């Protein structure tokens, strides 16, 4: 269930409170992805982000052959469903910085403005998903919720259709989208043609059996 972002107040914890929460957090961790508190009060840790992207992404790769200058190549493809990535971040990193780091890690050339980070949590036996604002701090949310992803998880999605910033797409990206849509349309058309051809063959076979003399 998608809901509007509820305005949860950000509770500013003292250094001692942060230390206690990190100790409690680390004692409950089962995957060795613990948090570390630095002397300046900033803490670091890991978050897992599930990719739920409906549109294709553009990946850029730089290749250098011999003495030639590197040539940038871009490829657009759909990311497999259920893909989860782990990021090491600090308590000062904002949602916008996390999105940028995630895209940079996997050489995604798309504009970060096309994406939004959501939090998914359980409440009263229901699962709620709501979009985070760009200035929120994911590691703080992870610390407060604890390490269990059943209680809180992060999801990367495109902005909703009505929110898409089409001006953020380059012409090659839009052309790639059109090529992918054309291919999907042709594939679906071929599936329909094959299905009706099979039906037609069965009907013709049945007619021949009915009209056969004798």
Listed by start position, the domains of the chain span 15-61+70-161, 168-211
pLDDT score recorded for residue 163: 53
Give the pLDDT confidence score for residue 48 in this predicted structure: 94
- Please state whether beta strands 43-51 and 152-158 pair in parallel, antiparallel, or not at all (unpaired): parallel
- Do the Cβ atoms of 185 and 178 come closer than 8 Å? no
What gap in Å lies between CA 15 and CA 115, rounded to an integer?
33
What is the rounded distance in angstroms from the CA atom of residue 176 to the CA atom of residue 88? 32
The verdict on domain 15-61+70-161 having CATH code 2.60.40.1180 is no
Instruction: Over range 20-43, report the average pLDDT.
Output: 93
The β-bridge partners of 72 are: 62
Contacts of 176 (CB under 8 A, 6+ apart): 56, 58, 74, 76
Q: State the pLDDT at residue 68.
A: 47
Beta bridge partners of 36: 44
Is 58:109 a contact under the CB 8 Å cutoff? yes
Return the pLDDT at 69: 47
Q: Indicate the pTM of the whole model.
A: 0.66
Lowest mean pLDDT among 13-17, 45-49, 182-186: 182-186
Please tell me the distance from the alpha carbon of residue 177 to that of residue 56, in angstroms, as a whole number.
7
Alpha-carbon distance values, 7 to 131, 133, 136, 174, 176 (Å): 11, 10, 11, 36, 38
Encoded tokens for 148: 């269990």
Task: Evaluate if residue 25 carries a pLDDT over 90.
Answer: yes
> Who's near 137: CB < 8 A, 6+ residues apart?
91, 92, 93, 94, 95
Is the predicted pLDDT of residue 28 greater than 80, yes or no? yes
Rounded Cα gap, residues 95 and 97, in angstroms: 5
pLDDT tens digits along 74-94: 777 777 777 899 999 999 999
């Amino acid at each position: 269930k998608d809901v509007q972002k509820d305005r949860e107040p950000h509770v500013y914890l003292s250094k001692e409170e942060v230390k206690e929460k990190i100790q409690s957090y680390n004692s409950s961790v089962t995957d060795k992805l613990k948090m570390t508190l630095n002397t300046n009060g900033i803490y670091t840790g890991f978050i897992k982000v599930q990719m739920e992207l409906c549109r294709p992404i553009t990946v850029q790769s730089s290749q250098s052959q011999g003495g030639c200058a590197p040539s940038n190549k871009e490829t657009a493809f759909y990311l497999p469903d259920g893909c989860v990535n782990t990021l090491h971040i600090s308590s000062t990193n904002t949602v916008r910085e996390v999105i940028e780091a995630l895209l940079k890690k996997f050489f995604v050339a798309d504009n970060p403005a096309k994406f939004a980070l959501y939090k998914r949590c359980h409440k009263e036996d229901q699962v709620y998903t709501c979009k985070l604002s760009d200035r929120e701090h994911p590691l703080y949310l992870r610390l407060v919720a604890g390490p269990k992803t059943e209680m809180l998880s992060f999801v990367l999605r495109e902005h909703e259709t009505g929110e898409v910033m089409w001006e953020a797409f380059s012409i090659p990206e839009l052309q790639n989208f059109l090529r992918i849509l054309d291919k999907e349309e042709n594939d679906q058309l071929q599936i329909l043609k094959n299905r009706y051809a099979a039906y037609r063959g069965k009907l013709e076979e049945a007619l021949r059996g009915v009209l056969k003399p004798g």
